[in-house]
Amino acid sequence: MNDENFLKYLSKIEQDVFNKLDEDKQNNIIKSLNKNNISNNLKYIKEYLSSIEKTTLNKINSLSNKLSKQNIKDSNILNKSVLQLCRDWATTHNNIINDLIKLHSNMDDYNKHNSWWEYLLYYFKKIVNNILLKDDRLIYIGVSLILVTLLLYFIDISG
């Protein structure tokens, strides 16, 4: 296993620490690793770290873990405020409209397709797969459909 293959499994900080080691220590670490057990053998690198480097690495790892947990918590729709949901709903619909405009400006000529239904089916699939199902847009589209349904219901019962 060469240095390049080994280094791709390390974080940026671990790569910097590894590169600071002298060549003999680097070679010893690489020799001790085997292809099937790379993740378990990364602890050998930590043996060569100073106590300051170990504590710094542990602090950075714990902060990174807290940040990733917070990002997961923040992205959950159940943890969002009503104001944030409204902003996300508006942003999502704005992005959908922008994507529809881009799709319309890049539409092929009708004559390139064999029939009109192939032409419509092709663009219907593009709209559904590339625009409506992108990211978490589907939940906001569902909310919009519920709002439109309620609006139509109130119009119907008032008439």
Residues 5-28: pLDDT tens digits? 555 556 666 777 767 777 777 777
Which of 30, 50, 73 corresponds to the end of one domain?
73
Nearest by Cα to 107 from 90, 127, 123, 84: 123
Regarding whether 87 and 65 lie in a shared domain, the answer is no
Indicate the number of domains in the chain. 2
Regarding whether 92 and 60 lie in a shared domain, the answer is no
Regarding whether 153 and 87 lie in a shared domain, the answer is yes
Domain ranges, residue 38: 3-73
Contacts of 39 (CB under 8 A, 6+ apart): 9
Regarding whether 132 and 114 lie in a shared domain, the answer is yes
Regarding whether 108 and 51 lie in a shared domain, the answer is no
Q: How confident is the model at residue 99 (pLDDT cuts 50, 70, 90)?
A: very high
Q: Would residue 135 be called left, alpha or beta, if left means φ above 0 and alpha means ψ between -120 and 50 degrees? A: left
Q: Which DSSP symbol is given to 42? A: T
- pTM exceeds 0.75: no
Regarding whether 153 and 82 lie in a shared domain, the answer is yes
Rounded Cα distance between 72 and 84, Å, is 16
How many helices (H) and strands (E) the chain has is answered by 9, 0
Regarding whether 152 and 83 lie in a shared domain, the answer is yes
Regarding whether 152 and 106 lie in a shared domain, the answer is yes
pLDDT tens, 35-74?
A: 445 555 556 666 677 788 778 878 888 888 888 888 888 7
Q: How confident is the model at residue 148 (pLDDT cuts 50, 70, 90)?
A: very high
